[in-house]
Structure formats: structure tokens, C-alpha cells
Amino acid sequence: MKAAVLGATGYTGLILLRLLTEHPDVREIIAVSSSQPGEPVRGADPGLSPALEQKMGASAGKLVAIAEAVKAAEARDLDVVFSGLPHLKSAEVCAPFFGRCVVIDLSADFRFSDAEAFRKAYGAPPARPDLLAKAAFGLAEWYGDRIRTADIIANPGCYPTCTLLPLLPLAREGLLKGTVIVNAISGISGAGKKERTDLLYCERTENACAYNPGTAHRHAPEIHKELAAAGKGLGLLFTPHMAPLKRGMCVTTVAELARSPESEGPRSIRGIYEKYYSGRPFISLTDSRIPQTRDVWGSNRCDIGWRLEGDRIMLFSAIDNLVKGASGQAVQNMNIRFGLEESAGLRAGGEL
């Protein structure tokens, strides 16, 4: 496998470089930077492993311009391109790769098959409405069949991943009704490596708050389209929060039960989850134990716990927003797409 990473110096790009360095099936990595081509990749982030430079072959450990990656794609020795670019820009920059290699896009550009839904969420029409229908939504545990054959994979957002993984099985089984209330806490890296005052250390340490609640957050429609597809009539009220975490995300979901909780006790809830996730390497069921973001730090795992509370169910899920919520799931999608071991190059254990 030969892979290129567009936007290699952003947070998702830097995690991708780390994961691909350790990936047993990836032979060569091209790190692409539109802003600083020619720079040594380990100058951009001295934390990167020296082993990455060995995998960078022809590019001699240096960030390359987009044109170099295009040439490699044209020469047909590039298998996959990961794009960690911002939405709208991503679809545009990826244009030369469509049809030449598999594109795994971490931006929102291909997450909606409906152009109007994209426009509503992002305030602009999608860059490539012609390709929306061809893209697979890369929620790896749910769209494996489509991912296996797709040449464009739209990696889901971190909030949708962490919210949908515990919700979809219950929604599919018709267990839920009404408006699902979702409250999420995200690590600051979810906002990207942007020179914004509100992302400064001094503004975020010892500080927590909700932001863009309800329909104001772009991820709400992305979550809702999947939720509504799984369970007719389900509504969503989604509120993200920022807390002083570099990485990590935890989601607390409250949903009304459509059926008596007696018939769906703790055992049965586990049964439903096992029906959908049994054997999947990155779903861990913690039953009544509530997952912590620390448990999954650095891993591609999503931990899921739950509690029954009267006629409601509470769901608790945790991921690393940069791994299962972004770059890790992107690699998982690559693994699925190319018939590799699903967990190749990914860790199921969290750091201490």
C-alpha cells in the first residue's frame, strides 16, 4: 500500500502519519502540505517517529506539494489518499485523485448524499454534488458493505461517531422514541490546529462551556440523518461542550424507551449491542460502568455503557476524537476497503 496524506501538519494529518508509520501493510507514505512543501516532516512535528522518514522513500522525509501526490496517483502507484483538509477546500483539492485512487475524506464534503442538507449545515453548496451519491459514509461498523467497494469514503465527524455507535442498534430495534437528548464533551483538538484566540491554552485551561447548541452545530444534521434513517420519527437535540482536554470525547445520551424497560433489562440491552457489534474489534461494551475518555486515549475503540432510568435509557460512550473520531476510523476504513485486517495498524488499548 502506498498512501498520501493531504493536510499532513494538521492534527488529523499528524495522527494519520503516526498510524500509517506503524501500519504493517503500508509501504510508502507521502506527506502533503500545501503551505510548507519542502520542509522536513519531522521538523513540523518532532514527535513523529524516525521510522516515518524511512517509509517516505522518494520524498526523502520532506513534505511534498500537492502536485507530487497527483503525479504519484497518475503513475498509479498511489492506492489511497487521506484528506485532512477543511470542508469545501477538501473536495476541491482532492479533485485530481478521484478515479485514480481511493479517497478517504475526513472533511464533511461527502458526508451528505443530499446536497440541500449539506448546504443547510455548512451554509454553502457542496463542492462536488455530482459525487455525493458515490461516496460511502465511513461509519465503519455500519457501512462496511458500501465501504468495501467505494472509491470515496466520507469519514464521519467525531461527534456523529461517538453519538451514533451507541444509538443506532437501539434505534434499529425500534426501542427508542421521541427526541433524543445528546450532551457531548469534546477535546479541544476537535477544533483543529487553528490560530484562534479562543483556542489558546490560557483561554481553555480551567474552563468549560457548551457551544453551538441544538441546531446550531454542524454535526447535528449529520447525526440526525443517520438516527432518523435507523428509527422513524426520532428527533435530536444535540449540545456539544468544550472542556480542558487535548484529546477525547464523551457523550451522554438520554432517550425515551418505546417499550417497557422491564422487557429490555440490562441483559437485553447487551444482547442488542452484541447482535450488531459482536466480533467488531473496536466496540467495547462496559454495561453499567460509565466509560471515561482516558480509557480510550490513543485507541480506536468506542466504549459504550448504559443505564435504565424509569422509562428512559441513558447511554454513555467515549472515543478519542482524533482516532476513532477521525484518523483511526479513516485507517479502519482503508483496512476494510482494501481487504486488510480491520484492526491493522490500530490499537485497541488506551494510553495511561
Catalytic annotation, residues: 158
Does residue 252 interact with its own copies by CB under 8 A?
A: yes
Rounded (5°) CA angle 305-309-314:
35
Cβ–Cβ under 8 Å, residues 56 and 27:
no
Residues 6+ apart with CB under 8 A from 285: 270, 273, 274, 277, 303, 304, 305
Find the part of the chain contacting its own copies (CB under 8 A) among 9-17, 118-126, 134-142, 264-272.
9-17
Does residue 297 interact with its own copies by CB under 8 A?
A: yes
Residues 6+ apart with CB under 8 A from 130: none
Dist CA 325 CA 139 (whole Å): 10
Binds its own copies by CB under 8 A, chosen from 88, 296, 319, 326:
296
Helix (H, G, I), strand (E, B) or coil at 116: helix
Dist CA 44 CA 36 (whole Å): 9
SS (H, E, C) 33-52: CCCCCCCEHHHHCCCCCHHH
Cβ–Cβ under 8 Å, residues 169 and 317:
no
Site string for its own copies, 263-292 (x = CB under 8 A): ------------------x--x-x--xxxx
Query: In terms of CB distance, is 254 or 272 closer to its own copies?
Result: 254
Number of residues that bind its own copies (CB under 8 A): 83
Dist CA 328 CA 19 (whole Å): 7
Rounded least distance, CB 28 to its own copies, Å:
17
Q: What cell numbers appear for 227 in the block?
A: 438516527
Q: Per CB under 8 A, which of residues 181..200 are in contact with its own copies?
A: 181, 183, 185, 187-189, 193-197, 199-200
Locate cell 476510523: which residue?
A: 329
Rounded least distance, CB 15 to its own copies, Å:
6
Find the part of the chain contacting its own copies (CB under 8 A) among 64-72, 140-148, 176-184, 331-339.
176-184
Does residue 54 interact with its own copies by CB under 8 A?
A: no
Rounded least distance, CB 264 to its own copies, Å:
16
Binds its own copies by CB under 8 A, chosen from 8, 29, 48, 336:
48
Q: Using CA of residue 313, residue 318, residue 321, residue 323, what is the dihedral sign?
A: negative
Query: In terms of CB distance, is 138 or 248 closer to its own copies?
Result: 248
Does residue 164 interact with its own copies by CB under 8 A?
A: no
Cβ–Cβ under 8 Å, residues 185 and 243:
yes
Binds its own copies by CB under 8 A, chosen from 303, 321, 325, 331:
303
Q: Per CB under 8 A, which of residues 22..41 are in contact with its own copies?
A: 22
Q: What cell numbers appear for 149 in the block?
A: 467497494
Q: Per CB under 8 A, which of residues 309..338 are in contact with its own copies?
A: 309, 312, 314, 316, 318, 322
Find the part of the chain contacting its own copies (CB under 8 A) among 50-58, 101-109, 124-132, 138-146.
50-58
Q: What cell numbers appear for 47 in the block?
A: 514527535
Q: What cell numbers appear for 293 in the block?
A: 475518555
Binds its own copies by CB under 8 A, chosen from 295, 333, 340, 342:
295
